[in-house]
Structure formats: C-alpha cells, structure tokens
Homo-oligomer: A and B are copies of this chain.
C-alpha cells in the first residue's frame, strides 16, 4: 500500500516541479520578465481567445546587441579586420593604401573617419572573391578561435545568457525562432545552430551577391563584391516577409535599426509582442542608447514608451549577462 502510494506520488511531484521550474532563471523578477511569460501564456492557452496555433508562432530576434554584444565594434567588423591582417601578405599595396593601412596599423579612428565607403571596402575585400563553402570555412575557423579584446572570451561566448533562455523557452512553447539581423547572413549561419539552437535556414541577414558557375567542371557559388540586400530598418520587415512569409508574433531588438521590425510584429490583427534590450550596465557590459554610433536607440525608445512595448533594463533585469565560463 505504501509502495503504491509512492508510485503514484512520484510522478505528481515531478510534474509539479516541472510546472514550477523557472523558464527564465537569469532574469530578475521584474515587469520585463512577467511581460514575456504573460504573452507566451496568452498565445499558448487553447482556452483563451488570444490562442495562436503553433504554425503561426514566429519569433524574430535581432543579433548584434540583442543576442550578443556589439561593443567596442560589431564583431563582424572585428572578423573583417582580422581577415585583412591574414590577407596582408598577398596585398603589399595595403601597407600604404587606405583604409587597409589604418586596419593594419590598428588605427580604428582613421578607419571610422573613412565612413561608410571605407567600411564597405574592408567588407568587400574580406567577404567576397571566394566560394560560399570557402567562406563558411573561414568564418567557422574565426568564430572557434577569435577572442574579444576586453573580456578575452570567444566571441561565441559573448552571447546573452538571459536571451538564450528566452530562445529556449519560446521553442519549448512551439515557437519557431529566427534571427533577423543587419549582420551578414553567411557570417552567422555557420554557428547559429551550435550557439543559439537556430538552424541556418532560420537566419536572415544582409547579403552580398552570389553567382553560380562551373569551375573546373565543379558547380560553385562565388561571392561577388556587390551588396545584394541590407537587412536593416525598413529592410527588416521586407526580409521577414521574403524569408518567413508570415508576420511575427514576437520581436526582439535593441536599436533604431529594429524599429520597423518591432512595428511590423505589433501591428497585425492579432496582438503582438515587442521587447527592446536596453544597454544600461556599464559595469557588466556597456551603457549606451541615444548617442551611440553603434546600436543607437533613440526613436525606437520613444516609440516603445508610447506604445507600451517592453523595454528591459540590463542592469536591473538580468542576474547574469553571459553564460558561465567553462
């Protein structure tokens, strides 16, 4: 009899533990955390009017500054700079030619002063001219070895632990999670599954043109030094439409580049959810918003307040920033 009772009790205990487990343990108890959970519960509860079938549970995430850090410079720019240095031996002219000279001399100030044109040159010199498979190998090698100049961590360990928990929590609730980033689509895809649990086909980003050609009787896709699409600002809803074909139910961003994506996710016939990651933690990560050149958050901050979107506060809301070091 006692045994029987125990046999029945064990599953009950396990079940209640499961229900009680905190899906977002790195988030402080806060209005931000409650808003996420409340929204997810509202769309997954079949008895509620707000219920949304699994097929339509789409969540989109900006990458730079939303899923991983973006200071002191975008990590993809750090990749491009490392790549210029790797290729410098084959380009002796770079020693005297800008913007390459600035890069080789670690003179970020001159590089940045060159503006958009200088950065574009660097990007094209490092991101084009090889097959897609060669580029995949190059980015994979970099992400596995390159380290952040301030923390000494691998860049792939500079992802936000609380956001990894949100990704996981949403997937457990039937959401398909997507990245919709201004960063390069092919820069992110080789590691998105391992780092975020997001397969390459659910990564949307900026792209350069690619050309199919038969090289040495081998079909190849060659990366061309020409912009194909910039997945930023009004480009984000356009890309969401092109790649996903459905309006997202939830959108997460951190800068004015995400504003249109957040508008789009929250203006459908169904209620939508928008969250802004507000960088307020100079001690543990970085504090910046309206005046930052990278990741400026100004118009979107105003609109978030006006529309009642969730603006989380990194300093106040996150118990941890990065995953525990191994």
Which residues of chain B have C-beta atoms less than 8 A from A207's C-beta?
A: 242
Asked whether any CB of chain B lies closer than 8 Å to the CB of A218, the reply is: yes
Which residues of chain B have C-beta atoms less than 8 A from A267's C-beta?
A: 218-219
Which residues of chain B have C-beta atoms less than 8 A from A243's C-beta?
A: 201, 243
Which residues of chain B have C-beta atoms less than 8 A from A238's C-beta?
A: 210-212, 221
Interface bits A129-152 vs B (CB < 8 Å: 1, else 0):
000100000000000000000000
In the bound complex, do residue B203 and residue A245 qualify as a contact, i.e. CB atoms below 8 Å apart?
yes
8 Å CB contacts to B: which residues of A159-218? Answer: 176, 185-186, 189, 193, 199-201, 203, 207, 210-214, 218
This chain: how many copies in the complex? 2
Given A207-B242, A210-B238, verify A219-B263 contact (CB < 8 Å).
yes
Asked whether any CB of chain B lies closer than 8 Å to the CB of A234, the reply is: yes
In the bound complex, do residue A212 and residue B234 qualify as a contact, i.e. CB atoms below 8 Å apart?
yes
Which residues of chain B have C-beta atoms less than 8 A from A176's C-beta?
A: 201
| Listed A/B pairs (24) with beta-carbon separation below 8 Å | A55-B193, A55-B199, A132-B241, A200-B244, A200-B245, A201-B243, A201-B245, A203-B245, A207-B242, A210-B241, A210-B242, A211-B238, A212-B234, A212-B237, A212-B264, A213-B234, A214-B263, A218-B267, A219-B237, A219-B260, A219-B263, A219-B267, A221-B237, A243-B243
Asked whether any CB of chain B lies closer than 8 Å to the CB of A290, the reply is: no
Category for how many chain A residues contact B: 20 to 34
Q: Contacting A264 at CB < 8 Å: which of B219, B241, B245?
A: B219
Which residues of chain B have C-beta atoms less than 8 A from A201's C-beta?
A: 176, 243-246
Which residues of chain B have C-beta atoms less than 8 A from A234's C-beta?
A: 211-213
Which residues of chain B have C-beta atoms less than 8 A from A218's C-beta?
A: 267
Please report the C-alpha to C-alpha distance between residue A289 and residue B238 in the assembled complex, in whole angstroms: 38
In the bound complex, do residue A221 and residue B245 qualify as a contact, i.e. CB atoms below 8 Å apart?
no
Among all A-B residue pairs, the 4 with the closest Cβ atoms: A200-B245, A212-B234, A219-B267, A212-B237
Please report the C-alpha to C-alpha distance between residue A189 and residue B264 in the assembled complex, in whole angstroms: 19
Which residues of chain B have C-beta atoms less than 8 A from A235's C-beta?
A: 212
Please report the C-alpha to C-alpha distance between residue A238 and residue B220 in the assembled complex, in whole angstroms: 10
Which residues of chain B have C-beta atoms less than 8 A from A211's C-beta?
A: 234, 238
Which residues of chain B have C-beta atoms less than 8 A from A245's C-beta?
A: 185-186, 189, 200-201, 203
How many whole Å from A267's CB to the nearest CB in chain B?
A: 5
Please report the C-alpha to C-alpha distance between residue A240 and residue B199 in the assembled complex, in whole angstroms: 15
Q: Contacting A185 at CB < 8 Å: which of B132, B185, B237, B242?
A: B242
Which residues of chain B have C-beta atoms less than 8 A from A221's C-beta?
A: 237-238, 241
Please report the C-alpha to C-alpha distance between residue A214 and residue B263 in the assembled complex, in whole angstroms: 10
How many whole Å from A292's CB to the nearest CB in chain B?
A: 24
Please report the C-alpha to C-alpha distance between residue A219 and residue B176 in the assembled complex, in whole angstroms: 23
Which residues of chain B have C-beta atoms less than 8 A from A200's C-beta?
A: 244-246
- A201, A210, A221, A263 pick with most chain B CB within 10 angstroms: A201
Please report the C-alpha to C-alpha distance between residue A315 and residue B267 in the assembled complex, in whole angstroms: 51
Please report the C-alpha to C-alpha distance between residue A201 and residue B59 in the assembled complex, in whole angstroms: 13
Which residues of chain B have C-beta atoms less than 8 A from A242's C-beta?
A: 185, 207, 210
